[in-house]
Amino acid sequence: EGMDLSLESELLPTFKIVTLSLNHYLNLSHIIVYIPRTNGNKEFTLHCEFFPEESRTATTQVPNVFSFGISASKVDLTSSGLMHTLQLQDFNQIYQAFTVYVESKCHSLTEELPSVYRWHIPWSNEDSFTAVSVPSSVEISAKLHVARPVNDSSVSVLHLYTSRDCQYQITIRTSFFQVLGQ
């Protein structure tokens, strides 16, 4: 008996992803990917990897809002995976505003797969996406429109859908002018 997992997929700016927790699908023995015919013969690439989620999840504290951009939080992502998650602790108030710098350094590019950075705020619908070609250096503005509810313990998350050939450095600084704008 088959199961349709298309409801688990997400369409990102440059590709479609499906992230499954295999613990929820213990009875599966095969995964079959069906690509319907389109007009013409379009080529596609299928990337697949299996990993424990905690091995690709990093956590960092955001700088104090009164640091005026002098101090920063830095995270280096050195694994060669396709997906990473950065959890930002204590980023939950609307007066906070940050600039997130993501720099990619690539060894030798075997494919031209863009990176997509998804800013996810679990308690509201204010996700944002940034798509860049690699190697690159990009600034992402991070601010909240809704403060985290008192009874909610979730954290804001930066999902990085990355190239296997690159390493990433993320630097988070308080953006004083954006704080004033908030």
| pLDDT (tens digit per residue) in 78-137 | 877 888 999 999 888 888 888 999 998 887 766 667 889 999 999 988 888 998 888 889
The reported pLDDT for the residue numbered 4 is 79
Burial 116-152 (b: 16+ CB within 10 A, else e): bbbbbbeeeeeeeebebebbeeeebebbbeeebeeee
For residues 16 and 38, give the distance between their C-alpha atoms in angstroms, rounded to a whole number. Answer: 16
The side-by-side arrangement of strands in the sheet containing 166-174 is 72-77, 166-174, 97-106, 137-143
Give residue for tokens 């690539």.
106
pLDDT surpasses 70 at 40:
no
